[in-house]
Amino acid sequence: MLVFEKSRPGRGISALPECDVDIYTLPDEDMRETDLHLPEMAEVDLSRHYTELAKKAHGVNDGFYPLGSCTMKYNPKVNEKTASFDEFTQIHPLQPEHTVQGCLQVIKETEESLAEITGMSNFTLQPAAGAHGEFTGLLLIKAYHLANGDTKRKKIIVPDSAHGTNPASAVMAGMDVINVDSTPEGLVDVAKLREVCEGNDEIAGLMLTNPNTAGLFDPNIKEITDIIHECGGQCYYDGANLNAIMGWARPGDMGFDCVHLNLHKTFSTPHGGGGPGSGPVGCKEHLAKFMPGLTVEGEEGSLAFAKASESLGEMKNFYGNFLVVVKALTYIKMLGKQGIPEASKNAVLNANYMMNKLSAKYDIAFNPKVCMHEFVMDIARQAKETGVTAMDIAKGLLDNNIHPPTMYFPLTVHEALMAEPCETESKETLDEAIKVFLELNDLAYSDPEALHAAPVKTPVTRLDEVGAARHPVLKYEFE
C-alpha cells in the first residue's frame, strides 16, 4: 500500500520552528493553483510504513549480495558518522575559502590518496557516477587531441567484454566505437588490436577494464597500452571495480593516461538505491590542464580553489557529491596503507574460494586457473540439459535470502551469472552460499519446475520484467 493510500485528512501534524525571518509572499502568478497532495499520517504509521518497505528490500545489511561488477561490500558505519558532521553538511559551496579549510583539506587529501592508489598525477572529484567519469575522461582525451591539432582522432576501441556504459559514454562524447573481439580465454586479442591500430591516425584511444568483467587480469596489458600509444592514441582505464588491485597494481603503471573510480563501489559508499554516487577522474600530467571543475591548492590552513588552465568546464556544480567523498576518505584513512592491499587480497581470495568450490557443479566461463575479484558461471549446460536458466537459478537464490549475481553479463557469455563475493564476507557466509548454489544445481536436475516457479518466499514472485521496463508506472495518479 502506498503512503498516499494510507493518508487520512487531518491526521498529519507539522511542527515547524517559529519563523525568524520576514515572511515574504510570492506574487499570485508564482503560486500553485491547486493544493499540494501531501500524505497525512501519524508519525508512528509513517515510521512503520518505511520500516515495512525496508523489510521488503534486500541490502548488504540483510544478507549475501554477490552482484558482480557492483562491489556490494559492507559499508562501515563510521563513514556515515563522519559524513554527518555539521562541519560537512552545513556548509555553503560559495562560503569564503578561509571558512571551509577542513572541507578543502578533505578534497585535497582524497585527490592525493586516489592519485597515489591509481598512479595518476591529478584528480577531479566532480563526476557523479562511473559513467559520468567515463564521459569526463573521454572529453579529456578529446581535448588533448584537439589541442594537438589532431582533429581526425574520433575512433575509440572498446573490447566486446566492456561494461555497457563504455560504448555509451564514447558515443555521447562524439566518438565512433570500434569493437575488438576477445580471445577464447576472454582477454584482449593483441594481434587483432595491432591490426586495427597500425598506421591508423584516426584512433583517439582505448577504453579498458583490467581485470575485465569476467574477473580476468590481462597479462598483456603493457603491450596493449603500448600499441595504442604507438598509433597516437590515449588509454582510458575503467576503474569502477578497483577492488581486485588496489594497493597492488596501478593503472598508471600499466600505461593508462586517465582513469575513473567508483567511490560507490570500491571505496565503500552504499549504492544500489540510486545514489548519490561519485566517479572521480584521474589523469596523468599531460592531460591535467584540461581537467574540469575546481581543484584545491596550497598548504594546510591556507588552501584555495584553483582551476586548470585549459579546463574543459564543469561536469557538475561545485565539487561533486562531497559527502560521498568524505565517506571514501574515511574508508581510506581507516584502512591505511596496510589495509587497502589487504582488502583487495581478501576480495580476490574470497572470489577464488567460491569459484573453486562451485566449479564442482558449475562451468566457469573461460575456465581460468585463478580469477580476480569476480568470476562468471556459465549456466548453458544446465539450460540445455534441464531447461533451468541463469534467470531460474537467480530466482532460486532469492528464496534463500541471497541476492543473485549479475545476470546475462558479460554479453560474451550467454547464460552468465557473474559473482563478486567481496572481502567483507566471512568464510561461514561463503560456505552457506556455496551450499545453496550447489543445492540449486541439484534441484535443476531433480525438479526443474520448482526453479521455474521460484521465487515463492519473496514479497512479490516472478515479475513481468519486460512489462516493467517497457511500460513503467512511475507516479501515483490521484483520483
Instruction: Work out which of 41, 129, 418, 433 binds ligand PLP, going by CB under 6 A.
Output: 129
> Contact between 182 and ligand PLP (CB under 6 A)?
no
Closest CB to ligand PLP among residues 279, 405: 279
- Rule CB under 6 A: is residue 241 a binding residue for ligand PLP? yes
Q: How many CB atoms lie within 10 A of CB 94?
A: 7
Residue 92 Cβ, how far from ligand PLP at the closest point, in Å?
27
CB 428 within 8 A of CB 83: no
The only residue of 122, 161, 209, 268 in contact with ligand PLP, by rule CB under 6 A: 209
CB of 157 to ligand PLP, least distance (A): 16
Determine, following the binding rule CB under 6 A, whether residue 207 of this chain makes contact with ligand PLP.
no
Q: Among 66, 119, 127, 130, which residue sits at the site for ligand PLP (rule: CB under 6 A)?
A: 130
Considering beta carbons, is residue 368 or 455 the nearer one to ligand PLP?
368
Shortest Å distance, C-beta 370 to ligand PLP: 20
Q: Where does this chain touch ligand PLP (CB under 6 A) — which range of 9-17, 28-36, 103-111, 123-131? A: 123-131
215 binds ligand PLP (CB under 6 A): no
Question: Interacting stretch for ligand PLP, rule CB under 6 A, among 237-245, 385-393, 405-413, 470-478?
Answer: 237-245
**Could you tell me the smallest distance in angstroms from the CB atom of residue 276 to ligand PLP?**
10
**C-beta of 384: minimal distance to ligand PLP in Å?**
29
Region 263-292 residues binding ligand PLP, contact defined as CB under 6 A: 277, 279
Residue 238 within binding range of ligand PLP, rule CB under 6 A: yes
d(CA 406, CA 66): 8
Which cell numbers in the block locate residue 154?
Answer: 574520433
Total of residues contacting ligand PLP (CB under 6 A): 13
Measured CA to CA, the distance from residue 260 to residue 278 in angstroms comes to 10
240 binds ligand PLP (CB under 6 A): yes
Site for ligand PLP in 149-178 (CB under 6 A): 163, 165
Residues 270, 60 contacting (CB under 8 angstroms): yes
371-430: contacts with ligand PLP (CB under 6 A): none
CA separation for the pair 172, 151 (Å, rounded): 17
Report CA 463 to chain centroid distance, whole Å: 25
Q: Which of 82, 124, 210, 262 binds ligand PLP (CB under 6 A)?
A: 262
Under rule CB under 6 A, residue 69 binds ligand PLP: yes
Residue nearest to ligand PLP (CB): 130
Tell me which residues touch ligand PLP (CB under 6 A).
69, 129-131, 163, 165, 209, 238, 240-241, 262, 277, 279
